[in-house]
């Protein structure tokens, strides 16, 4: 099969952008909501639709709050370092979730159980690491709640880490006005390492659509969904085989995004959101057996010629 051309990459991007824009336009978030956003975006990984889980299930049971979720491990006398064990916490019938159902972790545990039970029985995307990611959420919320410096808040945690880097207290306004360079210097300290299940790209993803941040021009997410999109469509061809162990790096991804952005006049962050939304949601329908390529909007170009390279 021939390599994908730059013109074909532009066509694919324009189609996917038009299809997904009505969806991701609703993602806009405000600084005041970052603690809530952390719950949804921090664990939206491996095709787990965590934002839906938080918005439609945790919120339904009034448990979409770091402090409330943080009480669960506290009630069970667990530490934030307690590791995930599949035989103990994988599945709603597991010993851990049975203990929550029975009230061993108090009201908060019961409400969390109800939200998880309802979501696990739905047809929403759970991904391959659903149960592990829920465990990581519990660990991180416990960590943020137990540490007096963080007061059960992701925002307070981030500002505390910033104050250590810059040796001064950081106000909300100073945080919002950080330059790209100041933000990058902060990220070099790997602040996400204290949060279970959170890596560098996911950490940056939490902040990505907050318009109040001055540093947000370079904040976008490269995760398995974006990588999957590039692989399946053939866009990795544009790197001419210059991959590291077969994987695209964040730097290569940014270079590729800038090249495509310059070719079609769409902002890098909007392209990134489009790729993510398309593959994370539609990719689950079109890019796995049984294939549904005939129904996919990037299967053919305007002249009914093959467009997507279908490299599953």
State pTM to two decimals: 0.71
Residue 288 confidence (pLDDT)? 62
Cα 134 from Cα 43, distance rounded (Å): 8
* pLDDT tens per residue across span 24-48: 877 667 899 999 999 999 999 888 9
The SS3 assignment for 247 reads strand
Residue 167 confidence (pLDDT)? 94
- Greater pLDDT, 281 or 109: 109
Helical pair 268-277 and 250-264, crossing angle rounded to 10 deg: 110
Domain locations in the chain? 6-25+220-295, 29-210
Q: What string of DSSP letters covers 70-105?
A: HHHHHHTT--TTPPP-HHHHSSTTSHHHHHHHTTTT
Residue 245 confidence (pLDDT)? 57
Helical pair 130-146 and 106-120, crossing angle rounded to 10 deg: 160
Cα 311 from Cα 162, distance rounded (Å): 42
Provide CB contacts within 8 A for 67, sequence distance 6+: 141, 145, 152
Cα 254 from Cα 248, distance rounded (Å): 10
- Greater pLDDT, 291 or 132: 132
Residue 187 confidence (pLDDT)? 95
Cα 283 from Cα 190, distance rounded (Å): 31
Cα 48 from Cα 129, distance rounded (Å): 8
Q: Which of 283, 174, 186 is nearest to 230 (CA)?
A: 283
Report the Cα 246 to chain-centroid distance in Å: 22
Assess whether the previous peptide bond of 3 is cis (omega < 30° from 0): no
* pLDDT tens per residue across span 196-241: 999 998 999 899 878 789 887 666 667 778 888 898 899 988 886 5
């Amino acid at each position: 099969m021939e390599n994908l051309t730059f013109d074909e990459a532009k066509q694919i991007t324009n189609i996917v952008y038009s299809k997904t824009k009505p969806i991701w336009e609703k993602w806009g978030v405000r600084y005041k909501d970052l603690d809530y956003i952390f719950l949804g975006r921090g664990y939206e990984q491996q095709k787990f639709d965590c934002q839906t889980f938080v918005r439609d299930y945790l919120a339904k049971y009034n448990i979409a709050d770091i402090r409330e979720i943080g009480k669960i491990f506290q009630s069970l006398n667990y530490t934030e370092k307690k590791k995930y064990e599949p035989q103990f916490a994988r599945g709603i019938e597991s010993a851990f979730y049975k203990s929550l159902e029975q009230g061993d972790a108090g009201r908060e545990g019961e409400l969390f159980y109800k939200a998880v039970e309802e979501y696990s029985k739905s047809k929403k995307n759970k991904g391959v690491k659903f149960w592990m990611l829920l465990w990581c959420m519990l660990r991180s919320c416990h960590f943020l709640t137990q540490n007096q410096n963080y007061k059960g808040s992701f925002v307070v945690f981030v500002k505390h880490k910033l104050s250590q880097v810059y040796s001064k207290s950081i106000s909300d306004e100073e945080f919002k006005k950080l330059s790209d360079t100041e933000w990058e210097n902060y990220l070099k300290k790997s602040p996400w390492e204290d949060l279970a299940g959170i890596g560098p790209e996911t950490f940056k993803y939490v902040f990505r659509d907050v318009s109040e941040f001055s540093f947000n021009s370079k904040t976008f997410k490269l995760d398995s969904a974006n990588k999957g999109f590039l692989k399946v469509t053939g866009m990795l061809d544009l790197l001419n085989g210059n991959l590291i162990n077969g994987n695209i790096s964040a730097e290569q991804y940014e270079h590729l995004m800038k090249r495509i952005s310059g070719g079609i006049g769409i902002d890098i962050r909007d392209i990134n959101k489009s790729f993510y939304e398309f593959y994370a949601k539609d990719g689950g329908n079109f890019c796995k057996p049984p294939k549904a390529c005939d129904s996919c909007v990037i299967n053919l170009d305007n002249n009914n010629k093959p467009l997507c390279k279908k490299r599953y």
